[in-house]
Structure 1
């Protein structure tokens, strides 16, 4: 599996890079890839099916926070001081085979192994009685483990933990979402490093109550803030061991970056994509 470590990029470019990897891997034109990256400037991402009217665009602009819509489902995330992962693999590969929930669980096990190497005590959230998928094969997501009323009332991803997401003492640490295209899947998710619940709530029209009590950051889980190199090394080692696949450093190919630019320009930087679903 190829490892890509990207510098901080804007939201439209980050999402274009994730989708480009998904499309090209599905066509056999890119290898299975684990991508690790950050965001600059701060960005609020909407889920693929989420209504843009749930966020306050004026407050986002005043706060210097950009907005992008993800190719995956789920709810709003504020990406600022965090490490984000994106995994692309085939649905018939060991990690991706079976139901969406099964692949989600396998991927989360790798993240768990990596983060526990840093000293964090965490566990994988239990599955609900049923796991829903939204959309066709190309767009699959895991239903949140929450009451229907709670899931509908909040626009924030961290308000509830989905099945197989990572928790520390019942508080959500890693928020993830998965989407599928042809015979490949993309799962990406956020690992917040420092607190931002208050900032996120200020950007939502109907902020959830006590969001800070339901989410935790890596700094909060560890009692310290690991350096970037330490975090990446632990995460990659844990994933490689758990997924039983070698993960080696790689670089972007020219044809991959060409598709990234096309997707960024024609889709993720367009208001029609970001704000079209109000």
Structure 2
């Protein structure tokens, strides 16, 4: 596809791609309705970012990454992988599991996929008989994280995460009451959290609209048991929604709130 003017987001490949990689990238660009920009052998991405697109989703042999003029981001299970290892060793002190009361076989709707951390934890806890659907409104983040989740080695006791590019409020409204056991939100923090690699990139591309009371009520209708919300410890994230922080470790920078479902299932 010829691009005559700079676009916000486009798809390309590494500078020395195999034909199968080019085919994958072209097909992904078509699915995401983004322009595909062929990359010449050893062509640096810097000039392409200056003249062709503000950001690129780059298909490489090692995976899919997101590039802009300030940095790069690729999917990394990071702390989620460590949390999963602890769960597999028999530890059940994970805050998400505790507050959501996650069980084997649960159906979980993660309304804010982000880096995919909590969705990966949920996918292990619910097991092969459960289900985890994760929504991401930002197309750039969805593209990179969903491709990373496809390549992640879940293991036989884990359910694969179903990532969808969707607006949480619209998706919730489309669902029948009691469609999921747990609905979860991790909206963008008021204050930056710097502990996660790639978080600054996340902040640049993530959806920044706050979680509203209206969306929370839709989530309560869709849930069978709990709606769980994560917030920053020294912010008004939960209080603005009328939620109280659940008891937790004083050493963490995050707090968790929950509200019961209004659906009878």
Q: TM-score, normalised by structure 1?
A: 0.25
Structure with a larger share of its residues in strand: 2
Q: Which has the larger radius of gyration?
A: 2
